[in-house]
Structure 1
Amino acid sequence: MLSRKIRNVSWIVLSVALVEHVFNMVSIVMRARSEKLDPVKTLFDTQIPLVFTLTELTWWKAALVKWFNLVVTFAWSFLDLFVMIVSIGLASQFKQLNADLRHMKGKQTSEVFWILRRIQYRKVAHLCTAVDDCISHIILVTFANNLFFVCVQIVRSIKPMPSFMNKVYFWFSLIFLITRTVAVSLFASYIHDESKKSINVLRAIPRQSWCKETYRFSEEVINETVALSGMKFFFLKRSIILTVTGCIATYELISRTLAVSLYSAEIHDESKKPMEILRAVPTQSYCTEVQRFSEHVINDTVALSGMRFFFLTRKLILSMIATIITYELGEIKCLQRATRKDFLFNGSFHEAIGSILVMAQCFGMMPVVGVKCSSASKLHFKWSSFRTIYSFVAFILTVIYAAMTFWVTFSEEIKFEQMVPVIFYASAVYAMFRFGVLAMHWPTLMRRYESIESKMPKYKYQREKRKLALHLKILTIVVMMGSLLEHLLNLISIVHFSKTCLDLKDPVNDFFQLELSQLFALVPFSPISAFFGKFVNVIATFCWSFMDLFVMVMSAGLSSRFEQINEDLKRVKGEHMSEDFWALRRTQYRKLSVLCGLVDEAISQITLLSFSNNLFFIAVQLLRSIRPMRSIPHAVYFWFSLSFLIGRTLAVSLYSAKIYDESKKTINVIRAIPTSSWCMEARRFSEHIVNDTIALTGMRFFFLTRKLILTVLGTIITYELVLIQFHTEESPQVACRRN
């Protein structure tokens, strides 16, 4: 089976490589015929351009050079194929070991069995390391080569193709090259994937079969990175595909920027060329006009510019390269090999939320310094920092836009539909204000948070420590990607409406007039005012989504700490424990409940705003659902927006309710305490759990428990009935239809 798989991969890679080479030759020959050139000479001049500029073309020289060209072409493809074949072989060894272990999954086994299996795993891991030492240079060359040629091909894609066959060859070559690079990454990553699968069997070992050897085996599987590498600069895991994509994108941006600069610099170069002719004017022909012409050519800078801040000349390219090098030298630490410390987590909430706060600061919220530091002790709020100044400017601009929206809305007859943007921007202003106030108290809150975390039961493994950070990152990506998609669908629906329902004289003007109608009701359209309006609109849209995300993130952090206590207590469920043990656990539980109260006090106004905002806009969207849709894009946007809004509201409710749920689960362990171990501390602990309501609130108006979801649904239905009656007094919307 292994040999058949290797043969199949080899045939596919080499066959497609041969087809690519044939396409290349055919495209060259067809181009030569279309230009009425000698096909054979053109073929060799194109494929081996340097050789026959130094020597005369003859048949034996052509055959020798073509043989050398085929060898080099084969070597390029064989590099990738070789890495794939070696990866298949090593992965099959781990796969064989895993298959053997799966037969014993969940069964009682002896310590000798696990000694043997651990030694086998160790030998395969050593084999992988030995192979990596031999071929890591080849792997590095393979990936560097593929990245370079992918970037070259993408740069060539912006140039016009001379013929149809040339297009076929180009796109076939580019797709094959990218696919081959991805295939190498995937096949190589199978080694790492298979090396980690053993942990599933180890985690299913019965308690009576757990021993020192299973612990050692488990530690080796979890902590060691068994994978091929590129001279240890990078390991071939699935994440390498994302890294490769990022490298291509970065390299491509730089290449396109330099290309634009070179093309633009030609204007300046051509404008200076008349000087060569002017300097050759004979003395008897030299006159005042020649002198004036010469002065114009020498002194005037004829070139495109960036608002006169810089001119697109060849000097700009040197400046850009110098800037890139300077920046890279400043960030040179990123180019160093990663150490084990770079991949370790301490499991704190401050560490988990750091990247999310950096994202928020890009949109003018939570201007706290030190959010990516390892400890909360380095957090501080500084009025003179760039973050704070940027946040203040964004807040002032949002206030101005909200004031303009108020003025336009209340200067006319007030209708319910016109109140929607007023509520939207007023909520954004208040949310930005509350996040600014929270930022000032955030360092103190996080230090207290970190202090209480340090007294919780300790995590033993890295997977437990990084669990919260990974969870919050995935949650952030899902929420923000959904929000971005909703915003894009909104823009698409506006563009479609402007095209089908308006007499387009200026499409850009019409687009902004529709999206930012309140702004352009007071000020004339201009690029600056449009940029100002769009900037505020993006800030307000992000703020709306970030309120929900922030409540979910804070809820996930607190519930994970209660979950941590519960997992620790489950290990001793039903066992005889001392009174000191229950006193310690009760103290930990009490400190967590105090922490929950502190967090609630800090964010309860944001929580209330988040829920009231969501309820209002759900009601508005439900009201709009009874009207006819203007078009298919508008209907797609509307139903996606409504589904996303309801889903986000339910997610906030469920994440917040998990704090209360986890705080009550502890009672199951308390009720399982044997009679002989029941004591005063256990009784006090039980009373705390049963009688205290530990949950986030909306300024104490309501507690975020599962019952809230039913209350929210009842509120939506009640609110909707009122709005429908209110809607009957308004004139129906006239949908635009064009045949």
Structure 2
Amino acid sequence: MNSLPMDDFWGALKPVIFVAQIFTLFPVQGVLAKDVYGINFRWRSLRTLYSLFFVVLAFIALCAQINLTALFTVTTGQVAGILYFGLNLTGAICFLIISRKWRAMMIRWKSQEDVYLRPPYRVYGRSLKFKIRLIGFSVIILAIIEDLLHVASSIKIHHKYINFCNVTGTFWELYYNREHPQVFKYVSYNLPTVLLVEFTHKVYLFIWTFMDLFITLISIGLLTRFEQFYQRIEHLKGKSKPEVFWAEVRGDYTKISSLVTYLDEILSPMILITCASDVFFITFQLYMTVRMKTTSITTIYYRFSLIFLIFRALLMLLTSSHVYVASRKPLEILRAVPMSSWTTSVQRFINEILTIDNALSGHRFFYLKKSVILAMAGTLITYELVMLSEEKPLDSSNICG
């Protein structure tokens, strides 16, 4: 029998959290510690100060974007800029709040999943460590590729602008003045400011991706345990078992069920922000993909960015929705229990599964189930039609404006 002594959730997630710390997220101590009891959060630590430093820069960037928008006629792009800065700043604050609770969260998770790390529970297929690290680092690598395409697209556009419009001046000064007008409209071009702008921009991009990824990885951890539970009882369909057995497995099930409820209370704000961000920016990226055809690299960037955004949003939604599906699969086994073995424990178990929604939610405004994917798709189509009907086609020939 294949036991799981090392396949715990925190052990699987640690390398991904370590990468997130490079981008100011999760300012907790003890990421490389042997167990969850080494995790610690302190306000007076370099990691926390690093995170707070970004929050301050992000707030300044948001204010600058709002101020720039107020000076001109409001466009879809300017609104997108404000939402981009605002939603990701809120996401950074959510991660900071979660970091304060991270030690308690991981200790709770460890105590609830401990029974699944030894017989009679087994590893089926790929380990949790493999799945989390494969998905985590694959998405991060795709995010890096997206950023490289964005940089290449921007440089190509600005070279075209300089050559076509006969603009004088150094390339990089013109580049940053046009790429980040919300900053360089008020501050003269200089290297320290450029470095701060680039740092803020890169962290913003990482947060934008990591919010989807984080919810996905949490869902994989929960989904894996529900699948292990079902695989333990799957072969018992139609067979007689004593009441003590059903009482025992119900206790195991309740551990993960209560963990879902606990995590939902903490993660709800981030889920709400992430879903709102995904709906708006999928719409916006699709809109820009249809309209913008300035250069071939720009077209490639917008199409790749759109596909990547849809991919990570669907990955998050499908993984999260499968937590709910997996939590209800034991019903088919319980309903096949012979009448001769039917007990109060079986009935209570069925009632528990039917009455508790084992699904993450956006502050209970919606639950991450398959139905929400259809609802989001309908919303996207509606908004896209409105945006395309209201805005005039982009005049790509007037690049000197």
Same fold at TM > 0.5: yes
Structure 2 counterpart of 1:569: 233
Match of 1:686 in 2: 350
- Identity over the aligned pairs, expressed in percent? 29
Question: What residue number does 1:593 align with?
Answer: 257
Q: Aligned letter for 1:410?
A: A
User: Is structure 2 residue 82 aligned with structure 1 residue 425?
Assistant: no
Determine the structure 2 residue equivalent to 1:400. 60
Q: Distance in 1 between matches of 2:19 and 2:341?
A: 50
Distance 1:514 1:494 in 2: 10
State whether structure 2 residue 370 is matched by structure 1 residue 706. yes
Q: What does residue 360 of structure 1 align with?
A: 20
1:285-328, CA deviations, whole angstroms, 9 ceiling, x for partnerless residues?
xxxxxxxxxxxxxxxxxxxxxxxxxxxxxxxxxxxxxxxxxxxx
Distance change >3 Å, CA 457–CA 508, structure 1 → 2: closer
Structure with the greater alpha carbon radius of gyration: 1
Moved more, 612-621 or 511-520: 511-520
Counterpart residue number, 1:580: 244
Which residues in structure 2 correspond to 1:307-706 (within 5 Å)? 346-456=6-116, 458-459=118-119, 467-502=127-162, 503=167, 505-706=169-370
Identify which range, 571-580 or 383-392, moves more after superposition: 571-580
- Superposed CA deviations along residues 612-660 of structure 1, whole A, max 9, x for unmatched, are 1011111112222332410111111111111111111111110111100
Q: Give the equivalent residue in structure 2 for 1:735.
A: 397
- Rounded to whole Å, the distance in 1 between the matches of 2:115 and 2:136 is 28
Q: CA RMSD in A?
A: 2.2
Which structure 1 residue ranges, 5 or more long, are not aligned? 1-214, 224-343
Change over 3 Å in CA distance of 1:628–1:371 after alignment to 2: closer
Greater relative contact order (Cα < 8 A, sep 6+): 2
The within-5 A match list for 1:209-358 is: 346-358=6-18
- CA distances 1:497-547 after superposition (whole Å, capped 9, x unpaired): 111222363122222223322211211111111111111000100000000
* Inter-partner Cα distance in structure 1 for 2:379 and 2:399: 36
2:115 counterpart SS class: coil
Contact 2:116 2:122 in 1 (8 A): no
Residues 459 and 641 of structure 1: CA distance in aligned 2, closer, same or farther (over 3 Å)? farther
Q: Distance in 2 between matches of 1:455 and 1:461?
A: 8
Q: In the TM superposition, what is the alpha-carbon distance from 1:421 to its structure 2 partner?
A: 1.4
d(CA) in 2 for partners of 1:722 and 1:402?
A: 26
**Equivalent residues of 1:431, 1:547 under 8 A apart:** yes
- Contact 2:292-2:394 at 8 Å conserved across structures: no
Give, in whole Å, the separation in 1 of the partners of 2:289 and 2:78.
17
Whole-Å Cα distance in 1 between the matches of residues 125 and 289 of structure 2?
45
Partner of 1:142: none
Amino acid corresponding to residue 395 of structure 2 in structure 1: Q
Whether the 8 Å contact between 2:113 and 2:255 is mirrored in structure 1 is no
Query: Within 1, Cα distance between the matches of 2:171 and 2:322?
Result: 49
Q: Any conservation in 2 of the 1:656–1:695 contact (CA below 8 Å)?
A: yes
Check whether the contact 1:457–1:568 (CA below 8 A) recurs between aligned residues.
Answer: no
Tell me if the contact between 1:351 and 1:372 (Cα under 8 Å) persists in the aligned partners.
Answer: no
Q: Assess if the C-alpha contact under 8 Å between 1:367 and 1:381 holds in 2.
A: yes
Deviation of 1:482 (Å): 1.2
TM-score, normalised to structure 1, is 0.51
For the Cα contact (< 8 Å) 1:627–1:733, is it kept in 2?
no
**Contact 1:630–1:737 (CA<8 Å) still a contact in 2?**
no
Name stretches of at least 5 consecutive residues in structure 2 with no aligned partner.
Answer: none
Tell me the CA shift for residue 463 of structure 1: 5.9
Distance 2:394 2:225 in 1: 52
TM-score, structure 2 normalization: 0.93
Change in Cα spacing, 1:345 to 1:591, as seen in structure 2 (3 Å) is closer
Q: Conserved in 2, the CA contact under 8 Å of 1:431 and 1:606?
A: yes
Contact 2:121 2:229 in 1 (8 A): no
- Report if aligned partners of 1:398, 1:429 keep a CA contact under 8 Å in 2: yes
Q: Is the 8 A contact 2:293 2:396 kept in 1?
A: no
Amino acid at match of 2:294: R
Task: Return the offset for 1:464.
Answer: 5.8
Pairs within 5 Å for 1:106-185: none
The change in CA–CA distance for 1:413 and 1:685 in structure 2 (over 3 A counts) is same
CA contact (8 A) 1:498 1:511 kept: yes
Shift in CA distance, 345/498, structure 1 to aligned 2, threshold 3 Å: farther
| CA distance in structure 1 between the partners assigned to 2:120 and 2:230 by the alignment | 15
Determine the structure 2 residue equivalent to 1:177. none
CA 1:382 to 1:616, structure 2 compared with 1: closer, same or farther past 3 Å? same
Offset of residue 692 of structure 1: 2.3
Distance (whole Å) between structure 2 residues aligned to residue 360 and residue 345 of structure 1: 26
Distance 1:346 1:406, change over 3 A: same
The structural deviation recorded for 1:462 is: 8.9
Could you tell me which amino acid in structure 1 is paired with residue 70 of structure 2? Answer: F
What amino acid is aligned across from residue 432 of structure 1 in structure 2?
A
2:66–2:82 contact (8 Å) kept in structure 1: yes
Q: Deviations over 1:232-256 (max 9, x none)?
A: xxxxxxxxxxxxxxxxxxxxxxxxx
